[in-house]
Each structure stands twice: as C-alpha cells, then as structure tokens.
Structure 1
Amino acid sequence: MSYRAKVPKPTVKRLSLYLRELEHRVEQKQPTISSRQLGDALGLTDAQVRKDLAYFGQFGHPGIGYDVTNLVDRLRKILGTDRTWNTALIGAGNLGRALMAYGGWQQRGFDIVAVFDQNPDLVGQWLENHRIRPMSDLAMLVKERDIRLAMIAVPADRAQEVADRLIAAGVRGILNFAPRRLDVHQAVSISSVDLALSLEQLAFQVSLGLLGSLDEDDD
C-alpha cells in the first residue's frame, strides 16, 4: 500500500514518537495499550492517535486497545526501520564526532558504514572504528557498500557541494546539519536540523513567556 502524498508530515513525525513510547512499553512487558494511554503519554488526544494510525489501516480492537508488540512491528515497517539502512557521515569535525559518539544508530536501524572528510589532516585517522576516507572515495564506496542515506556535518559554505556529490553518487536521502538550505532539485529526500534556528525559536517562546512544546504541529 502506498501512503505517498496523503499523509501529513506532522503525522509522520508523531509516528516516531508513538514508536518510541511503544518500545518503552514493550520493555515494561505491557501487552496492550489504548489510544488514550498512548496519547496521554505524549500530550496528545486519543482522537489524534486514532486519526494518525487510520492513515495506515486498521489497528487495535474496541474495548481492548492495541497489541503493543504488533503495533511496534507495524510502525517499524511503515517508517522503514524494520531493515538496516547503510549510512555515510560527511564531516569528521566536532559535530561529526559527536554524531558518531551517539550509540543508538544501529538500534534504530541505521548502520554508519563510512566516514568522509576533505581535511587531509583527518583523512586516514580512525573515528569510532571507521577510517576516515577522502571525498574522492565517495562515489566508489556509496556503490560498494550500498549506501542509501547520508548525514552532512560540514560548514555551511561546503554543504551544497557535498549534497551535489552525494546525489551524483546515488544516495537517496540526506540529513543536513549544516545551517543553510540545500537545493536538491527534488532528486533526493532531505531533512535539515538547524540547531541555532531551534534555539532562536526557543528564545522567542521564552521571551514571550509562552509555555508548551515547539514540536507540536498542526495536522
């Protein structure tokens, strides 16, 4: 079944939140959960939970709720994390090293299989069991290691060039940490994380005395 175009982006973001909460319930050995329980845990209404899940088919049973393990499996399949995604990291500076130090990539279904940098002082060094490779090796390793996703952790003035090279090499999805908008000509899927922008928005909220989450989106 194809969900393309009809599923709102905020719904997709909430699916990841549902999955994390449900995985926590699996660890607690909770067999079932209601839409109200799931919504309460995330600050959402039970109606919102049911509406989000309804985009993807029938879930749960009236009076019983959702089978937690089954719902985890189905959400992983919907999100594409029921398989492993070979991923590259571009940029082995401070941010790149911090990303590599995160221990949860493989648990979430992402295997970082190559690290690249253009700095000759870094190329050849080891970073978390990966030898840092020069950018000249990018196209070859993307093909050899079936790399589908990449994270960009380079300065803003280099990010577009890196994105262009990733697209040319055949990468299908980019997570961009550089503080600039990248033009990918709809050739790949892209998501950007601008830490400074997030802090600016948070400062705005605090300066006005507003409470609540900035992560809440309209439907």
Structure 2
Amino acid sequence: MISLRTIATCLCLAPPAWACDLALALAVDVSGSVDSKEFRIQMDGLAAGLRDPVVSEALVRGQAQLMLVQWTGTSRQRITVPWARIDSFEALDRFAGKVAADPRVWRNFSTAIGEALETTVTSFEEVSDCKRQLIDISGDGISNEGIEPTRVHRLLRTRGITVNAIAIEESEPDLTAYFFENVIVGEGAFVVSAAGFDDYPERIRKKLLREVTQQTAGISR
C-alpha cells in the first residue's frame, strides 16, 4: 500500500504543469525605411500567417499567449496589442483581426533593435507560466541607434527567452547574416530570409509554422 508520504514526495518531484506551451511576442519594424505599403504588407501577412490552419491549430492546442509590438528608434517601442490567451479559434481570429487593423504608431525614425528586444523582455513577466518564451522580430535593416542587440543577449538567456528573426533583404543583401550573428539568441534560434516585402507574407507563414512546431536551429532561405 502506498503511503501518504510517498504520494506527497511524488507530487513534489513531478514536473510543473504549464498553463500554456508558448508565449510569442511579435515585434514588427516600423522604422523610416518601411513605407506605408510595406507596413501594410507586414501586418496583413502576419495576420494571414496566424490564421494558417496548421499554425492556428497548434496555437489553440497549446493555449498560447500572443502579443504585438511596434518598434523603431530609441525610446520608440510600444505594445500595441497586449498579451492575449489563444484558447479557441475565435480568440485566435480576434487577435489576428487586431493585428491586421493595428494603426501605425511611428513613421520617420531609426532602427534600434537592441532597445526593441530589451523593452519586449520585460513584458514576459506577465506570461511566466508559459513553457516556451519567444520573441519573433522582423526588420529590413541593421541596428543603427541605441544599444547593440548583442548586449541584450545575456538578459535574454537568463530569462530563458529565445529570439528568432525574419530578415527582409529589400535593400540590405547581407541582413540575414547580420541577424544571425547579432540578433537571434537561444536554443533553436533561427533566421528566415525574405527577398523583399512582397516575399514577406509567405516567409512569415513558414516561420510561424517552424516556431509552433519547435524545429531546429539554422538559417532558412
């Protein structure tokens, strides 16, 4: 017969029960190099990617938490759609709708990737009950203002937050390599390349598929 003490010991040694599988912060570049058409392509493409049948099913099944961040130069990063628990397909559709309708916050500023990461990190305190914590950052240029992205890596590792990136190589043909060396961090971190903004919707869809299915590290072209 199993004693109460044995049962209590087993319960104490059991792994934690996670409330959700994935907390995913979607950080979108709205710096001066992104025109109004390109901004719209990003937001519509992101919303469509979230609604992909495989992506949406994985997010709902994992009770994911999603958040949207717009970022540009120093001191200009803002959570425009706060954390939302994706516990149904209706919740997923509501979040995707908010992404598609999200108005642009800034238009004519620089690119502060390090500050975008640093600002986004603090928001994960609200979703500490999620097993995986991930920042998905898009950009079409290197960081040219504020702290260097690599200076945030130690903080990200300490918090257990992975950073993946989509490099939009519209005018920066070596951007994928820059993101790989300076931006991404964490186990399984990867960079996806988009040849230009027109290529973004399909690439972000594939990127989301890879993230929700926990594939391995590397550069995806």
Give the number of the structure with larger relative contact order, counting CA–CA contacts within 8 Å between residues 6 or more apart: 2
Say yes or no: TM over 0.5: no
TM-score (norm: length of structure 2): 0.38
TM-score (norm: length of structure 1): 0.38
